[in-house]
DNA sequence: ATAAACGGTACTCTTTTAGTACTATTTAAG
DNA sequence: CTTAAATAGTACTAAAAGAGTACCGTTTAT
Protein backbone atom coordinates (compact mmCIF):
# COMPACT_ATOMS: atom_id res chain seq x y z
CA UNK A 1 0.00 0.00 0.00
CA UNK A 2 0.76 3.62 0.44
CA UNK A 3 -0.14 3.80 -3.20
CA UNK A 4 -2.33 6.15 -5.09
CA UNK A 5 -4.93 4.36 -7.15
CA UNK A 6 -4.43 3.79 -10.84
CA UNK A 7 -7.25 6.16 -11.61
CA UNK A 8 -5.30 8.91 -9.92
CA UNK A 9 -2.25 7.94 -11.88
CA UNK A 10 -4.25 8.09 -15.11
CA UNK A 11 -5.62 11.42 -13.99
CA UNK A 12 -2.20 13.01 -13.69
CA UNK A 13 -1.31 11.60 -17.06
CA UNK A 14 -4.41 12.94 -18.73
CA UNK A 15 -4.18 16.35 -17.12
CA UNK A 16 -0.49 16.62 -17.87
CA UNK A 17 -1.19 15.99 -21.47
CA UNK A 18 -4.03 18.45 -21.60
CA UNK A 19 -1.88 21.08 -19.96
CA UNK A 20 0.32 21.10 -23.02
CA UNK A 21 -2.51 22.47 -25.13
CA UNK A 22 -4.55 24.66 -22.85
CA UNK A 23 -6.75 25.95 -25.65
CA UNK A 24 -7.72 22.70 -27.26
CA UNK A 25 -10.69 20.55 -26.49
CA UNK A 26 -9.96 16.88 -26.04
CA UNK A 27 -12.56 14.19 -26.38
CA UNK A 28 -12.26 11.22 -24.07
CA UNK A 29 -11.52 8.89 -26.96
CA UNK A 30 -8.83 11.24 -28.29
CA UNK A 31 -7.02 11.07 -25.00
CA UNK A 32 -7.48 7.35 -24.69
CA UNK A 33 -5.93 6.81 -28.10
CA UNK A 34 -3.04 9.15 -27.50
CA UNK A 35 -2.19 7.89 -24.04
CA UNK A 36 -2.82 4.23 -24.69
CA UNK A 37 -5.57 3.87 -22.10
CA UNK A 38 -9.05 2.39 -22.36
CA UNK A 39 -11.69 4.79 -23.57
CA UNK A 40 -14.27 4.08 -20.85
CA UNK A 41 -11.59 4.44 -18.24
CA UNK A 42 -10.49 7.83 -19.47
CA UNK A 43 -14.11 8.83 -19.59
CA UNK A 44 -14.56 7.86 -15.98
CA UNK A 45 -11.51 9.80 -14.92
CA UNK A 46 -12.60 12.92 -16.77
CA UNK A 47 -16.05 12.77 -15.26
CA UNK A 48 -14.60 12.73 -11.77
CA UNK A 49 -12.22 15.52 -12.59
CA UNK A 50 -15.14 17.52 -13.94
CA UNK A 51 -17.14 17.13 -10.76
CA UNK A 52 -14.25 18.62 -8.86
CA UNK A 53 -13.83 21.47 -11.34
CA UNK A 54 -10.41 20.51 -12.52
CA UNK A 55 -11.62 20.24 -16.09
CA UNK A 56 -14.54 21.89 -17.78
CA UNK A 57 -16.59 20.05 -20.33
CA UNK A 58 -18.40 21.04 -23.49
CA UNK A 59 -21.22 18.75 -24.40
CA UNK A 60 -22.66 17.90 -27.73
CA UNK A 61 -21.04 17.25 -31.07
CA UNK A 62 -17.42 18.47 -31.17
CA UNK A 63 -17.50 18.76 -27.43
CA UNK A 64 -14.71 17.69 -25.14
CA UNK A 65 -12.67 18.59 -22.12
CA UNK A 66 -10.13 21.25 -21.23
CA UNK A 67 -8.46 22.36 -18.04
CA UNK A 68 -10.76 24.59 -16.07
CA UNK A 69 -7.90 26.81 -14.96
CA UNK A 70 -4.16 27.27 -15.60
CA UNK A 71 -1.98 24.32 -14.71
CA UNK A 72 -0.17 26.37 -12.08
CA UNK A 73 -3.38 26.55 -10.11
CA UNK A 74 -3.97 22.82 -10.03
CA UNK A 75 -2.13 20.88 -7.34
CA UNK A 76 -1.46 17.20 -7.16
CA UNK A 77 -3.40 17.17 -3.91
CA UNK A 78 -6.46 18.36 -5.76
CA UNK A 79 -6.09 15.60 -8.30
CA UNK A 80 -5.80 13.05 -5.54
CA UNK A 81 -8.87 14.46 -3.82
CA UNK A 82 -10.83 14.23 -7.04
CA UNK A 83 -9.92 10.66 -7.86
CA UNK A 84 -9.35 8.83 -4.61
CA UNK A 85 -12.57 7.62 -3.20
CA UNK A 86 -11.85 7.64 0.47
CA UNK A 87 -11.01 10.89 2.20
CA UNK A 88 -7.35 11.75 2.48
CA UNK A 89 -5.58 10.05 5.37
CA UNK A 90 -2.89 7.47 5.99
CA UNK A 91 -5.02 5.66 8.54
CA UNK A 92 -8.76 5.42 8.86
CA UNK A 93 -8.80 7.23 12.13
CA UNK A 94 -6.66 10.07 10.83
CA UNK A 95 -9.22 10.79 8.14
CA UNK A 96 -12.36 10.69 10.22
CA UNK A 97 -13.17 10.54 13.87
CA UNK A 98 -15.65 8.47 15.78
CA UNK A 99 -14.07 5.20 14.81
CA UNK A 100 -12.54 4.20 18.06
CA UNK A 101 -13.27 4.57 21.74
CA UNK A 102 -9.94 5.85 22.92
CA UNK A 103 -9.35 8.74 20.61
CA UNK A 104 -8.90 11.28 23.32
CA UNK A 105 -6.00 9.46 24.92
CA UNK A 106 -4.56 8.02 21.73
CA UNK A 107 -1.09 9.33 21.09
CA UNK A 108 -0.72 7.18 18.03
CA UNK A 109 -3.64 8.79 16.30
CA UNK A 110 -2.41 12.30 16.96
CA UNK A 111 0.93 11.46 15.46
CA UNK A 112 -0.52 9.86 12.37
CA UNK A 113 -2.45 13.05 11.84
CA UNK A 114 0.75 15.02 12.04
CA UNK A 115 2.45 12.76 9.51
CA UNK A 116 -0.63 13.08 7.38
CA UNK A 117 -0.29 16.81 7.34
CA UNK A 118 3.27 16.61 6.10
CA UNK A 119 2.35 14.25 3.30
CA UNK A 120 -0.55 16.36 2.25
CA UNK A 121 1.52 19.50 2.16
CA UNK A 122 3.98 17.72 -0.08
CA UNK A 123 1.19 17.00 -2.52
CA UNK A 124 -0.12 20.54 -2.36
CA UNK A 125 3.26 21.94 -3.17
CA UNK A 126 3.48 20.28 -6.55
CA UNK A 127 1.38 21.80 -9.30
CA UNK A 128 0.35 20.33 -12.59
CA UNK A 129 2.61 22.85 -14.24
CA UNK A 130 5.53 21.35 -12.32
CA UNK A 131 4.67 17.96 -13.73
CA UNK A 132 4.89 19.28 -17.27
CA UNK A 133 7.60 21.86 -16.88
CA UNK A 134 10.62 21.99 -19.09
CA UNK A 135 9.40 20.25 -22.20
CA UNK A 136 6.20 21.72 -23.62
CA UNK A 137 5.35 19.87 -26.80
CA UNK A 138 4.80 21.62 -30.08
CA UNK A 139 1.14 22.38 -30.58
CA UNK A 140 -0.43 20.11 -33.15
CA UNK A 141 1.94 17.15 -32.84
CA UNK A 142 -0.45 15.09 -30.89
CA UNK A 143 0.61 11.69 -32.03
CA UNK A 144 3.36 10.71 -29.62
CA UNK A 145 2.02 8.37 -27.00
CA UNK A 146 2.93 9.06 -23.45
CA UNK A 147 3.66 6.52 -20.80
CA UNK A 148 0.87 4.87 -18.88
CA UNK A 149 0.59 1.92 -16.55
CA UNK A 150 -2.37 0.37 -18.32
CA UNK A 151 -0.49 -0.03 -21.54
CA UNK A 152 2.02 -2.38 -19.97
CA UNK A 153 0.89 -5.95 -19.76
CA UNK A 154 4.00 -8.08 -19.48
CA UNK A 155 5.49 -6.88 -16.26
CA UNK A 156 9.21 -7.37 -15.92
CA UNK A 157 10.71 -8.31 -12.58
CA UNK A 158 11.76 -5.16 -10.77
CA UNK A 159 15.51 -4.92 -10.87
CA UNK A 160 15.99 -1.88 -8.77
CA UNK A 161 14.52 0.01 -5.90
CA UNK A 162 14.62 3.69 -6.43
CA UNK A 163 14.33 6.07 -3.55
CA UNK A 164 15.47 4.42 -0.38
CA UNK B 1 -6.00 4.61 -1.12
CA UNK B 2 -2.98 6.43 0.08
CA UNK B 3 -3.48 4.32 3.15
CA UNK B 4 -1.09 2.24 5.11
CA UNK B 5 -2.34 -1.30 5.60
CA UNK B 6 -4.01 -2.36 8.79
CA UNK B 7 -1.10 -4.59 9.63
CA UNK B 8 1.14 -1.54 9.65
CA UNK B 9 -1.35 0.25 11.85
CA UNK B 10 -1.36 -2.68 14.24
CA UNK B 11 2.39 -2.71 14.12
CA UNK B 12 2.70 0.86 15.33
CA UNK B 13 0.22 0.09 18.06
CA UNK B 14 2.08 -2.98 19.23
CA UNK B 15 5.47 -1.35 19.10
CA UNK B 16 4.24 1.76 20.84
CA UNK B 17 2.94 -0.34 23.65
CA UNK B 18 6.12 -2.34 23.93
CA UNK B 19 8.15 0.84 23.98
CA UNK B 20 6.57 1.70 27.31
CA UNK B 21 8.24 -1.29 28.95
CA UNK B 22 11.55 -1.76 27.19
CA UNK B 23 12.73 -4.43 29.59
CA UNK B 24 9.73 -6.68 29.57
CA UNK B 25 9.05 -9.62 27.31
CA UNK B 26 5.61 -9.67 25.75
CA UNK B 27 4.02 -12.80 24.40
CA UNK B 28 1.86 -12.41 21.32
CA UNK B 29 -1.25 -13.35 23.25
CA UNK B 30 -0.44 -10.84 25.99
CA UNK B 31 -0.35 -8.07 23.46
CA UNK B 32 -3.46 -9.28 21.70
CA UNK B 33 -5.38 -9.23 24.95
CA UNK B 34 -4.14 -5.85 26.02
CA UNK B 35 -4.65 -4.14 22.70
CA UNK B 36 -7.87 -5.84 21.75
CA UNK B 37 -6.54 -7.46 18.61
CA UNK B 38 -6.71 -11.02 17.37
CA UNK B 39 -3.95 -13.28 18.65
CA UNK B 40 -2.95 -14.79 15.29
CA UNK B 41 -2.89 -11.35 13.76
CA UNK B 42 -0.57 -9.97 16.39
CA UNK B 43 1.58 -13.02 15.95
CA UNK B 44 1.84 -12.35 12.25
CA UNK B 45 2.79 -8.75 12.81
CA UNK B 46 5.47 -9.63 15.32
CA UNK B 47 6.98 -12.20 13.04
CA UNK B 48 7.33 -9.66 10.27
CA UNK B 49 8.78 -7.13 12.66
CA UNK B 50 11.23 -9.75 13.83
CA UNK B 51 12.44 -10.49 10.32
CA UNK B 52 13.28 -6.83 9.94
CA UNK B 53 15.02 -6.67 13.29
CA UNK B 54 12.64 -4.25 14.90
CA UNK B 55 11.87 -6.72 17.66
CA UNK B 56 13.91 -9.57 19.00
CA UNK B 57 12.29 -12.81 20.04
CA UNK B 58 12.96 -15.33 22.75
CA UNK B 59 11.64 -18.77 21.98
CA UNK B 60 10.49 -21.46 24.28
CA UNK B 61 8.53 -21.35 27.48
CA UNK B 62 8.33 -17.86 28.97
CA UNK B 63 9.56 -16.49 25.70
CA UNK B 64 8.23 -13.42 23.98
CA UNK B 65 9.13 -10.27 22.16
CA UNK B 66 10.86 -7.02 23.02
CA UNK B 67 12.13 -4.08 21.01
CA UNK B 68 15.48 -4.88 19.47
CA UNK B 69 16.75 -1.35 20.09
CA UNK B 70 15.66 1.87 21.80
CA UNK B 71 12.49 3.45 20.48
CA UNK B 72 14.39 6.54 19.37
CA UNK B 73 16.23 4.40 16.85
CA UNK B 74 13.09 3.02 15.23
CA UNK B 75 11.43 5.17 12.61
CA UNK B 76 7.93 4.94 11.26
CA UNK B 77 9.47 4.40 7.84
CA UNK B 78 11.13 1.26 9.13
CA UNK B 79 7.83 -0.02 10.46
CA UNK B 80 6.18 0.62 7.14
CA UNK B 81 8.99 -1.17 5.32
CA UNK B 82 8.63 -4.13 7.60
CA UNK B 83 4.89 -4.51 7.24
CA UNK B 84 3.93 -3.27 3.82
CA UNK B 85 4.38 -5.93 1.24
CA UNK B 86 5.11 -3.92 -1.80
CA UNK B 87 8.18 -1.71 -1.94
CA UNK B 88 7.70 1.88 -0.91
CA UNK B 89 6.30 4.12 -3.61
CA UNK B 90 3.21 6.11 -4.40
CA UNK B 91 3.03 4.72 -7.91
CA UNK B 92 4.21 1.42 -9.27
CA UNK B 93 6.71 3.05 -11.55
CA UNK B 94 8.14 5.17 -8.77
CA UNK B 95 9.00 2.08 -6.78
CA UNK B 96 10.61 0.02 -9.50
CA UNK B 97 11.74 0.61 -13.02
CA UNK B 98 11.28 -1.42 -16.13
CA UNK B 99 7.51 -1.18 -16.07
CA UNK B 100 6.94 1.12 -18.93
CA UNK B 101 8.51 1.93 -22.26
CA UNK B 102 8.77 5.65 -21.96
CA UNK B 103 10.52 6.05 -18.67
CA UNK B 104 13.33 8.10 -20.05
CA UNK B 105 11.06 10.82 -21.37
CA UNK B 106 8.45 10.58 -18.67
CA UNK B 107 8.23 13.79 -16.71
CA UNK B 108 5.37 12.47 -14.66
CA UNK B 109 7.38 9.60 -13.31
CA UNK B 110 10.26 11.80 -12.29
CA UNK B 111 7.93 14.04 -10.37
CA UNK B 112 6.20 11.21 -8.58
CA UNK B 113 9.60 10.06 -7.47
CA UNK B 114 10.29 13.48 -6.06
CA UNK B 115 7.00 13.51 -4.18
CA UNK B 116 7.83 10.04 -3.01
CA UNK B 117 11.03 11.25 -1.48
CA UNK B 118 9.27 13.92 0.50
CA UNK B 119 6.74 11.50 1.86
CA UNK B 120 9.36 9.02 2.82
CA UNK B 121 11.43 11.61 4.60
CA UNK B 122 8.36 12.56 6.59
CA UNK B 123 8.07 8.96 7.75
CA UNK B 124 11.74 8.74 8.56
CA UNK B 125 11.58 11.81 10.71
CA UNK B 126 9.11 10.35 13.16
CA UNK B 127 10.49 7.84 15.63
CA UNK B 128 8.66 5.34 17.73
CA UNK B 129 9.67 7.40 20.72
CA UNK B 130 7.81 10.34 19.24
CA UNK B 131 4.71 8.23 19.01
CA UNK B 132 4.86 7.47 22.69
CA UNK B 133 6.32 10.70 23.97
CA UNK B 134 4.88 12.69 26.77
CA UNK B 135 2.92 10.08 28.65
CA UNK B 136 4.99 7.06 29.64
CA UNK B 137 2.84 4.70 31.62
CA UNK B 138 3.78 3.45 35.03
CA UNK B 139 5.61 0.15 34.78
CA UNK B 140 3.47 -2.75 35.85
CA UNK B 141 0.04 -1.23 35.19
CA UNK B 142 -0.48 -3.17 32.06
CA UNK B 143 -4.22 -3.43 32.13
CA UNK B 144 -5.42 -0.36 30.31
CA UNK B 145 -6.35 -1.23 26.77
CA UNK B 146 -5.15 1.04 24.02
CA UNK B 147 -7.06 1.94 20.93
CA UNK B 148 -7.02 -0.32 17.91
CA UNK B 149 -8.99 -0.48 14.68
CA UNK B 150 -9.75 -4.17 14.88
CA UNK B 151 -11.62 -3.82 18.11
CA UNK B 152 -14.23 -1.61 16.56
CA UNK B 153 -16.91 -3.52 14.78
CA UNK B 154 -19.90 -1.24 14.52
CA UNK B 155 -18.46 1.57 12.51
CA UNK B 156 -20.18 4.87 12.98
CA UNK B 157 -20.67 7.18 10.03
CA UNK B 158 -17.79 9.62 9.86
CA UNK B 159 -19.07 12.98 10.96
CA UNK B 160 -16.03 15.03 10.26
CA UNK B 161 -13.04 15.27 8.02
CA UNK B 162 -9.99 16.23 9.88
CA UNK B 163 -6.96 17.54 8.10
CA UNK B 164 -8.01 19.33 4.98
C1' DA C 1 -33.12 13.90 -37.77
C1' DT C 2 -28.73 12.22 -36.84
C1' DA C 3 -24.35 11.34 -35.00
C1' DA C 4 -20.79 12.50 -31.83
C1' DA C 5 -19.88 13.89 -27.75
C1' DC C 6 -20.60 14.20 -22.39
C1' DG C 7 -23.27 12.43 -17.79
C1' DG C 8 -24.60 8.99 -14.63
C1' DT C 9 -25.41 4.54 -12.68
C1' DA C 10 -24.72 -0.01 -11.91
C1' DC C 11 -22.50 -4.23 -12.58
C1' DT C 12 -18.72 -7.75 -12.91
C1' DC C 13 -14.12 -9.39 -12.66
C1' DT C 14 -9.79 -9.31 -10.62
C1' DT C 15 -6.48 -8.25 -7.22
C1' DT C 16 -5.16 -7.27 -2.74
C1' DT C 17 -5.71 -7.46 2.09
C1' DA C 18 -7.03 -9.60 6.32
C1' DG C 19 -7.48 -13.15 9.07
C1' DT C 20 -7.14 -18.13 10.29
C1' DA C 21 -5.37 -22.83 10.62
C1' DC C 22 -1.98 -26.10 10.95
C1' DT C 23 2.51 -27.95 11.83
C1' DA C 24 7.30 -27.67 13.32
C1' DT C 25 10.70 -26.01 16.58
C1' DT C 26 12.48 -24.29 20.85
C1' DT C 27 13.10 -24.39 25.86
C1' DA C 28 12.01 -23.85 31.01
C1' DA C 29 10.08 -26.59 34.53
C1' DG C 30 8.58 -30.55 36.90
C1' DC D 1 12.83 -36.89 29.85
C1' DT D 2 8.30 -35.50 29.29
C1' DT D 3 5.30 -31.69 29.01
C1' DA D 4 3.52 -27.25 28.10
C1' DA D 5 4.04 -22.61 26.52
C1' DA D 6 5.97 -20.02 23.51
C1' DT D 7 7.88 -18.56 18.64
C1' DA D 8 8.53 -19.82 13.27
C1' DG D 9 6.83 -20.83 8.98
C1' DT D 10 3.64 -21.95 5.38
C1' DA D 11 -0.56 -22.22 3.22
C1' DC D 12 -5.27 -21.39 2.78
C1' DT D 13 -9.87 -18.97 2.81
C1' DA D 14 -12.87 -15.14 2.95
C1' DA D 15 -13.84 -10.35 2.53
C1' DA D 16 -12.96 -5.81 0.75
C1' DA D 17 -11.37 -2.68 -2.56
C1' DG D 18 -10.01 -1.47 -7.28
C1' DA D 19 -10.38 -1.56 -12.14
C1' DG D 20 -12.73 -1.83 -16.00
C1' DT D 21 -17.05 -2.29 -18.77
C1' DA D 22 -21.77 -1.70 -20.30
C1' DC D 23 -25.83 0.64 -20.78
C1' DC D 24 -28.89 4.37 -21.15
C1' DG D 25 -29.86 9.31 -21.02
C1' DT D 26 -28.80 14.19 -22.48
C1' DT D 27 -26.82 17.73 -25.29
C1' DT D 28 -25.82 20.04 -29.67
C1' DA D 29 -23.59 21.02 -34.43
C1' DT D 30 -24.61 19.67 -38.94
The ipTM estimated for the assembled molecules is 0.79
What is the per-residue pLDDT across B50-70, written as a single tens digit (0 to 9) for each?
Answer: 999 999 999 999 999 999 999
The shortest C-alpha distance from A59 to chain B (Å) reads: 29
Per-residue CA distances from B146 to B2, B47, B90, B133, B135 (Å)? 25, 21, 30, 15, 13
pLDDT of the residue at A152: 32
Question: Taking the model in full, what pTM does it have?
Answer: 0.80
CATH of A6-140, one of 1.10.287.70, 1.10.300.10, 3.30.70.920, 1.10.10.10: 1.10.10.10
What is the per-residue pLDDT across B10-23, written as a single tens digit (0 to 9) for each?
Answer: 999 999 999 999 99
Cβ contact (<8 Å) for A107 and B163? no
For chain B, which ranges sit under pLDDT 70? 1, 96-105, 134-164
What is the per-residue pLDDT across A37-87, written as a single tens digit (0 to 9) for each?
Answer: 999 999 999 999 999 999 999 999 999 999 999 999 999 999 999 999 888
Domain residue spans of chain B: 6-138
Angle, CA B153 vertex, CA A99 and CA B46 arms, to 5°: 85
Closest CA-bearing residue to C1' of C8:
A47
- Interchain CB contact of A1 with B (< 8 Å): yes
Are B113 and B34 a contacting pair, CB within 8 Å? no
Cβ contact (<8 Å) for B102 and A130? no
The shortest C-alpha distance from B124 to chain A (Å) reads: 10
A66 CA, D29 C1': Å apart: 19
Cβ contact (<8 Å) for A95 and B130? no
Q: Could you say which architecture CATH assigns to the domain B6-138?
A: Orthogonal Bundle (1.10)
Distance CA B149, CA B54 (A): 22
Amino acid sequence: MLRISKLTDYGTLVLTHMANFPDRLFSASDLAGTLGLGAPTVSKVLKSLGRHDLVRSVRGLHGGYALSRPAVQISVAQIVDALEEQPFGLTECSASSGLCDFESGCRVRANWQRINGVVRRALEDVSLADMVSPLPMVAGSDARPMTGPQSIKGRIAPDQESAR
